[in-house]
Structure 1
């Protein structure tokens, strides 16, 4: 397992430690979890934006009413 270190002010460390305590986590667990969640969210948003651009270029959407007619309802 690797170790990653980063520098923060004493004030920010105190804040991060308080948040870790609030969540019942060790500081390293909180930092790791939140960092990975943030990066995964960023990937999700990039994939969403790419999919939406693709959809806009080739929009095959139909209305709810048209779908019902197509299905024979």
Structure 2
């Protein structure tokens, strides 16, 4: 497992320690889950924006049932 070092001020460390205690997590777990969640949300938003821009260039849609069928998620007949 890799280790990452992050330098913070004493005040930031106190705040992070208090937040970890408030969340009932270790400091490491708080930083890991919060950072990954934030980055995943930012990535999803960026991908969504790009998909919407593509849609605006060619505003065609299709029924959800077709998409579900394409990915093998539709109801079997």
TM-score (norm 1): 0.80
Please tell me the root mean square deviation across aligned C-alpha atoms, in Å.
0.9
Deviation at 1:60, TM superposition (A): 2.3
- By relative contact order (CA 8 Å, sep 6+), the higher-ranking structure is 1
* 3-state DSSP of counterpart to 1:17: helix
Query: Partner residue of 1:49?
Result: 49
* 3-state DSSP of counterpart to 2:44: helix
Query: How far apart, in 2, do the equivalents of 1:3 and 1:16 lie?
Result: 18
* CA deviation string 1:33-72 (max 9, x = no partner): 01101110111011001100011001126xxxxxxxxxxx
Query: Partner residue of 1:12?
Result: 12
TM-score (norm 2): 0.76
The unaligned stretches of length 5 or more in structure 1 are: 62-73
Q: Structure 1 stretches (4+) deviating beyond 2 angstroms?
A: none
Q: Based on CA coordinates, which of the two structures has the bigger radius of gyration?
A: 1
Query: Partner residue of 1:25?
Result: 25
